[in-house]
Amino acid sequence: MIEPNSNVALIRSVPAGDRVPAVFDSPHSGVDYPADFDFSVPREMLRRAEDAFVDELYASAPARGAVLVAARFPRSYIDANRSLLDIDEALLAAPWPGPLARSRKTELGIGLVWRVLDNGDPIYARKLSVAEVMRRITLFHQPYQRAVKDAIDEAHAHFGTAWHVNCHSMPALSSQVSEEGPGKARADFVLGDRDGTTCSPEFTHFVRDSLTAMGYDVKVNDPYKGVELVRAFSDPAAGRHSLQVEVNRRLYMNESTREKSVDFDSLKRDIDSLVAGICAFAGARGSHACGHDDHHGHDHHHGHGHAHSHGEHGHKRGH
C-alpha cells in the first residue's frame, strides 16, 4: 500500500519522439491502494473494479509523441472519471457541505466514491466522514483531472488542436450495477463520444474503422457514451476532441484470476497500431510540428503558420 500524498496520484509520461497533439489517459488502471482506504470486503473482490493492464496496453503512446497520464490509485477509492458533484450522501456520516448533482451512477452506488461493488455488496462497514472524502478529492481526484486538462491545454496551445483518448476496459458481461442490467455481452470495443458531442465524427469514424479493419467488433455509444473526462475537457468547435475507448477484458485477460491471457501480446500489438494511427491522425491536423530539440518542453508556444495537410494517416492492418 502507499501513504496518500500529492506525489503518488498519477504517472505522466512525456513524449519521447516528435510531439503530436494527442493525449491518452487511463484513470482506472491504478493498483496502489492507499493505507486509509479501510474497505471491509476482500481485496480481490475490490480489484474487479480495476481496468487491469490498460496503462500497459497504451504504453507506446509517448514513443509516438503523445502524453500518457495514468492513475496510480484505484478507481474504487475515488473515481477520477466522475464529477466532483457526484457525491453519494448515503455513504456519508454527515451532510455534504457543497453542491450535489446526483447521477444514475450515484443511484447505483458507484459515484465519485464507490459505496458498493459491482455485485451490489457494500465496500465499507461504516459511514465515511466528509473530511475523508475531501482528502481523497484534494490529493487524488483533482491532481489527476488537472494533469489531463494540463496535457490537453498544452497540446492545444502548441498545435491549435488536441485529440484526447480516454482509455478503459470493460467486463465481458454487464454487472449487477450496470445501467443496462446484468448479464449482457459486450462488443470487443465500445467508443463513446456522448452522441457526437465530444469530438468530430471524423475522429470517431477513424478509430472505429481502424479497429474494424483489424477484425474487431466495434460499437459506438452502446452501452458506454463517455463520462466526465471526455465531457469536461472537450470542445470540438474549438479544436478540443475527446473520445472514450473501452476494450473488452476477455480479449486479453482471465477475469477470474486477473492474469493476462495468451492473447495479451496480440491485442497489445493491435493497440500499438491503433495508437500509432491516432498519433498520425492528430499530427496531420496540428498547425505546428515540434522538432526533436524541443519535444520535452511544455511552456514554449509558437505562432501557428499554415496548416498541414488534413489527409488521414496511419495504416490499418487486417487480421
Task: Report pLDDT for 57.
Answer: 98
Measured N-to-C along each axis, helices 201-213 and 264-285 cross at an angle, to the nearest 10 degrees, of: 150
Task: Report pLDDT for 19.
Answer: 96
262-310 pLDDT per residue, tens: 999 999 999 999 999 999 999 999 985 444 334 333 333 333 333 333 3
Task: Report pLDDT for 94.
Answer: 98
Burial class (CB in 10 A: 0-12, 13-18, 19+), 176: middle
Q: Which whole number is the average pLDDT over 4-31? A: 87
Residue-wise DSSP of 67-130: EEEEE-S-TTT--TTS-TT---GGGBSS--SS-----HHHHTTBSSSB-B-TTS-BS-SSPBPH
Task: Report pLDDT for 175.
Answer: 72
Interatomic CA distance for residues 289 and 11, integer angstroms: 25
Nine-digit cell at 185? 455481452
At residue 319 the predicted structure's pLDDT band, cuts being 50, 70 and 90, is very low
85-129 pLDDT per residue, tens: 999 999 999 999 999 998 888 999 999 999 999 888 999 999 999
Task: Report pLDDT for 118.
Answer: 87
Percent helix / strand / coil, the chain, rounded to 5: 30, 15, 50
Residue 142: pLDDT over 50: yes
The domains of the chain, with CATH numbers, are 10-287 (3.40.630.40)
Task: Report pLDDT for 316.
Answer: 32
Residues facing 168 on adjacent strands: 246
